[in-house]
C-alpha cells in the first residue's frame, strides 16, 4: 500500500525546502531592505547635515558683514567642499548667485525642490523657566581698557571704558548686536571673524579666532572706541525697564529684532541641487517580499524536480522489495550511475541473489532429504510387506538387512540435525588443547579395518613435535573421519590414502589425499554443498548421504580454520587451523 501523501519523503523534502527557501529569501530580503533603508537614511542625514552647514555659514556671512556683497566667493568654497549646486535668490525671485554660472556654465533647472530660508536675523528661544523676576544683568565697572578674546568677553563701552556683562540669556541677547557691530568693523578692516549657532538661538560671535595678535587687538580697541560703534548701555537698560511691565519675553524679542534687523541684510532663499528630488527616500518592502516568494517558489520547484529524479529509483526499490517479500525472488532493480542510490540498488540485488540461492538450496535440500529417506523407507516397507504376505521367510539375513536400512536413516537424520545446529550456531564444542598427532593416529586406527577390507593402504605422517590447536578433539576426529571415509570409498583396490599433520608457520595443517580418480574441475566448487555426490546416480555403493563434507566445513569454520579441495591426480583435502598459543 502506498504511503499517505503527507507522510511521504518527497512531501517532507518539499516542505523542508520551502521553509528553508522562504526563511532564507525572506531574511535576505529583510537584510537588503534594512541595509538599503539604513543607507538611504544615512545619505539623507548627510545631505541634511551638509545643507545645515551651508545655511549656517551663509547666515554667519550675512550677519557679520551686514550685506551680501562678495558672497559668491563663499558660495564657490561651499560648492567645492560639499559638492552641492548652490543657488541664492532674493525673496522676490531675483538670482543673487548660482554656483552653476560661477565658472561660465549654464544654470541647470532647480525643479520643484523646496528652497530654504537664509535669514541672518537669529530667532532667540527664551529659557523654559522664564526670567523669574530678573533684573537687568548688564553691569558696568570702570577699569583699564581690555581686549576681549571670545564672545564670552563681549565688550560694551561707555565713554571709552569696556562694560563686561554677565552670561545671562538677557545679557547675551542684548550684547549680540554689539558683537555683530564689532565683527562688521573687524571684517571691514580685513580680519576674520566667525559666528557659531547655539541651541538657544543666540549665536556666538568669535572675535578672536586663532591666535591673538597685536594688530587685531589694536583694531578691536579702535572699533570699540569709534564714535559710530559706541553703544549707550543705558539705552538697553531703558529698553529693559520699558519691558518690565509687559510680556518680558515678547517685548525683549521684538526690541531685539527691531534693533538687529536694522543692521542685518535681507533674507535670501537657498536652493540646493538640480532637477526634481527622488520621489521617496524609503525602500519598498513589497517587491523584496515578492522576490523572496519567487525565490522560494523556484527552490521548491527545483527540489520537486530533483526529488522526482532521486526518488524514482527509491520507488523502484520499494516496489521491488514488495514483490520480493511476496515471494518473487527473481525480482531485481536496474543499477544506474555510481552514487549512493546505485550502491543501494546493487546491495538490494545482491540480497535478492542471496535469498534466491538460499531458497534454491532449501528446496534442493528438501528434495534431497526426501530422496534419501524414500529409498531406505521403500526397502523397509518392501521387506515388511513380503514378511507379512509370507513371501520371504523371517531369517537372520533379512533382519540384518532391515537393521542396516534403519541405521542409514538414523545416520541421515543425525547428520541433518547436526547441520541444523551448526547453521543456528547451537552446535556444542568442548574446547581445549588438541594434539593433531593423536587425532591422526586415532582416525587411522579406527579406519584401518575398513581400508584393509577395501584393499586400500592407509598411511600417516606427523611432524615431530606434532602440531597442537585449540578445539574440540571429538569434532576434529569427526572431520578427519569424514575425509578418510570418503577417500577410502573413492580409492580402488590397490590404492593408497595418506594422512599428514604438519606445521606451517602459525598454522597447523591436516591433509587427506588418495590415489583415486579424483574430482572433475567443474565439480570442485560444489564439493562442500549439501547432498553433493561425485556419483550422479547417487548410489550408496559409491557415496554416503552427501552431508559429510558440509558438516566438516561447518566444524572447521567454527574452529577458525579453512578447508579446501583440489584434485592434482586423486583428491586432496586440506584443513588449515590456527595453532594453539601455548604451543
Q: What's the pLDDT tens digit per position in 46-95? A: 888 888 889 888 988 888 888 898 889 999 999 888 888 899 999 888 99
Q: 252-264 burial string, b = 16+ CB within 10 Å, else e?
A: bbebbeebbeeeb
Q: Which of 97-101, 128-132, 244-248 has the lowest mean pLDDT?
A: 128-132
Residue 132's SS3 state is coil
What CATH number is attached to the domain comprising 497? 3.30.565.10
Does 59 lie in the same domain as 189?
no
Q: What are phi and psi of 380, to 5 degrees?
A: -60, -45
Q: What does pLDDT average to over the chain?
A: 78
Report which listed range, 32-36, 101-105, 529-533, 568-572, is most confident.
568-572
pLDDT range class, residue 288, cuts 50, 70, 90: low
Of 428, 455, 479, which closes a domain? 428
pLDDT range class, residue 232, cuts 50, 70, 90: very low
Q: Which of 9-18, 54-63, 478-487 has the lowest mean pLDDT?
A: 9-18
- pLDDT of residue 512 exceeding 50: yes
For residue 514, the surrounding DSSP H or E stretch is: strand 507-514
Distance, in Å, from the CA atom of 265 to the CA atom of 60, rounded to the nearest integer, reads 11
pLDDT range class, residue 237, cuts 50, 70, 90: low
Of 412, 428, 444, which closes a domain? 428
Does 520 lie in the same domain as 444?
yes
Place of cell 530580503: 29
- Mean pLDDT on 261-274: 85
State the residue range of the domain holding 173. 169-263
In a domain, 78, yes or no: yes
What pLDDT, on a 0 to 100 scale, did the predictor assign at position 143?
30
Does 364 lie in the same domain as 290?
no
Does 433 lie in the same domain as 567?
yes
pLDDT range class, residue 159, cuts 50, 70, 90: very low
In a domain, 390, yes or no: yes
Does 377 lie in the same domain as 436?
no
Number of other CB atoms surrounding residue 35 within 10 Å: 11
Does 189 lie in the same domain as 55?
no
- Sign of the dihedral defined by the CA atoms of residues 327, 330, 331, 332, in that order: positive
Q: Are 189 and 219 in contact (CB under 8 A)?
A: yes
Does 562 lie in the same domain as 473?
yes
Does 446 lie in the same domain as 345?
no
What pLDDT, on a 0 to 100 scale, did the predictor assign at position 453?
93
Within 167-209, residue ranges assigned H as helices are: 169-188
Q: Are 109 and 148 in contact (CB under 8 A)?
A: no
pLDDT range class, residue 236, cuts 50, 70, 90: low
Does 348 lie in the same domain as 294?
no
Q: How many domains does the chain have?
A: 4
Distance, in Å, from the CA atom of 176 to the CA atom of 120, rounded to the nearest integer, reads 12
pLDDT range class, residue 423, cuts 50, 70, 90: confident
Nearest to 236 by CA among 249, 254, 255: 255
Does 504 lie in the same domain as 415?
no
Report which listed range, 283-287, 361-365, 397-401, 468-472, is most confident.
468-472
- pLDDT of residue 433 exceeding 80: yes
What pLDDT, on a 0 to 100 scale, did the predictor assign at position 279?
57
Place of cell 530660508: 117
Place of cell 579702535: 222
Does 346 lie in the same domain as 323?
no
In a domain, 205, yes or no: yes
Q: What angle do CA 547, 561, 512 make, to 5 degrees?
A: 60
Q: Dihedral (C-alpha) 397, 398, 400, 401: value to the nearest 10 degrees?
A: 120
Q: Dihedral (C-alpha) 76, 81, 86, 88: value to the nearest 10 degrees?
A: -60
- pLDDT of residue 401 exceeding 70: yes
Does 455 lie in the same domain as 418?
no
Distance, in Å, from the CA atom of 183 to the CA atom of 220, rounded to the nearest integer, reads 9
In a domain, 37, yes or no: yes
pLDDT digits (tens, 9 = 90+) for 243-257: 766 677 778 778 777
Amino acid at each position: 500500500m502506498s504511503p499517505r501523501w503527507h507522510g511521504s519523503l518527497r512531501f517532507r523534502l518539499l516542505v523542508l525546502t520551502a521553509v528553508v527557501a522562504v526563511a532564507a529569501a525572506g531574511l535576505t530580503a529583510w537584510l537588503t531592505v534594512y541595509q538599503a533603508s539604513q543607507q538611504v537614511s544615512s545619505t539623507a542625514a548627510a545631505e541634511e547635515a551638509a545643507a545645515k552647514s551651508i545655511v549656517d555659514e551663509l547666515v554667519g556671512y550675512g550677519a557679520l558683514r551686514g550685506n551680501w556683497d562678495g558672497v559668491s566667493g563663499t558660495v564657490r568654497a561651499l560648492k567645492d567642499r560639499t559638492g552641492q549646486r548652490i543657488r541664492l535668490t532674493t525673496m522676490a525671485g531675483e538670482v543673487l548667485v548660482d554656483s552653476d554660472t560661477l565658472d561660465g556654465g549654464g544654470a541647470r533647472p532647480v525643479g520643484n525642490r523646496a528652497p530654504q530660508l537664509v535669514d541672518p536675523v537669529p530667532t532667540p528661544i527664551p529659557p523654559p523657566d522664564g526670567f523669574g523676576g530678573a533684573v537687568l544683568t548688564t553691569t558696568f565697572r570702570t577699569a583699564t581698557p581690555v581686549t576681549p578674546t571670545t564672545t564670552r568677553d563681549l565688550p560694551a563701552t561707555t565713554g571709552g571704558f569696556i562694560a563686561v556683562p554677565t552670561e545671562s540669556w538677557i545679557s547675551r541677547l542684548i550684547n549680540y548686536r554689539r558683537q555683530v557691530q564689532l565683527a562688521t568693523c573687524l571684517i571691514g578692516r580685513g580680519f576674520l571673524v566667525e559666528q557659531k549657532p547655539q541651541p538657544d538661538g543666540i549665536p556666538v560671535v568669535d572675535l578672536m579666532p586663532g591666535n591673538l595678535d597685536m594688530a587685531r587687538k589694536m583694531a578691536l580697541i579702535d572699533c570699540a572706541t569709534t564714535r559710530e560703534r559706541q553703544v549707550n548701555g543705558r539705552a538697553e537698560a531703558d529698553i529693559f525697564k520699558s519691558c518690565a511691565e509687559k510680556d518680558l519675553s515678547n517685548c525683549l524679542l521684538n526690541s531685539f529684532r527691531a534693533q538687529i534687523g536694522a543692521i542685518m541684510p535681507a533674507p535670501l532663499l537657498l536652493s540646493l541641487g538640480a532637477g526634481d528630488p527622488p520621489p521617496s527616500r524609503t525602500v519598498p518592502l513589497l517587491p523584496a517580499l515578492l522576490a523572496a516568494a519567487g525565490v522560494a517558489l523556484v527552490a521548491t520547484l527545483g527540489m520537486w524536480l530533483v526529488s522526482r529524479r532521486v526518488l524514482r529509483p527509491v520507488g523502484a526499490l520499494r516496489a521491488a522489495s514488495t514483490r520480493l517479500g511476496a515471494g518473487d525472488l527473481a525480482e531485481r532493480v536496474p543499477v544506474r550511475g555510481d552514487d549512493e542510490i546505485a550502491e543501494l540498488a546493487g546491495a538490494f540485488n545482491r540480497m535478492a541473489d542471496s535469498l534466491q540461492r538460499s531458497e534454491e538450496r532449501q528446496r534442493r535440500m528438501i528434495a534431497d532429504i526426501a530422496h534419501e529417506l524414500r529409498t531406505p523407507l521403500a526397502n523397509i516397507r518392501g521387506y515388511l510387506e513380503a514378511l507379512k504376505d509370507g513371501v520371504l521367510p523371517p531369517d537372520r539375513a533379512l533382519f540384518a538387512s532391515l537393521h542396516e536400512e534403519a541405521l542409514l536413516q538414523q545416520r541421515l537424520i543425525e547428520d541433518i540435525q547436526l547441520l541444523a545446529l551448526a547453521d543456528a550456531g547451537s552446535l556444542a564444542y568442548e574446547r581445549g588443547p588438541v594434539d593433531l598427532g593423536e587425532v591422526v593416529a586415532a582416525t587411522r586406527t579406527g579406519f584401518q579395518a575398513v581400508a584393509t577390507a577395501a584393499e586400500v593402504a592407509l598411511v600417516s605422517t606427523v611432524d615431530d613435535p606434532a602440531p597442537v590447536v585449540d578445539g574440540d578433539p571429538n569434532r576434529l576426529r569427526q572431520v578427519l573421519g569424514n575425509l578418510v571415509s570418503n577417500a577410502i570409498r573413492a580409492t580402488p583396490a590397490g590404492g593408497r590414502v595418506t594422512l599428514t599433520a604438519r606445521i606451517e608457520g602459525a598454522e597447523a595443517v591436516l591433509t587427506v589425499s588418495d590415489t583415486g580418480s579424483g574430482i572433475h574441475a567443474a565439480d570442485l566448487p560444489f564439493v562442500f554443498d549439501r547432498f553433493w555426490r561425485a556419483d550422479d546416480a547417487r548410489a550408496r555403493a559409491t557415496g554416503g548421504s552427501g552431508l559429510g563434507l558440509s558438516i566438516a566445513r561447518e566444524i572447521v569454520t567454527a574452529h577458525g580454520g579453512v578447508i579446501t579441495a583440489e584434485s592434482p591426480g586423486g583428491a586432496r583435502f586440506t584443513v588449515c587451523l590456527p595453532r594453539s598459543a601455548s604451543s
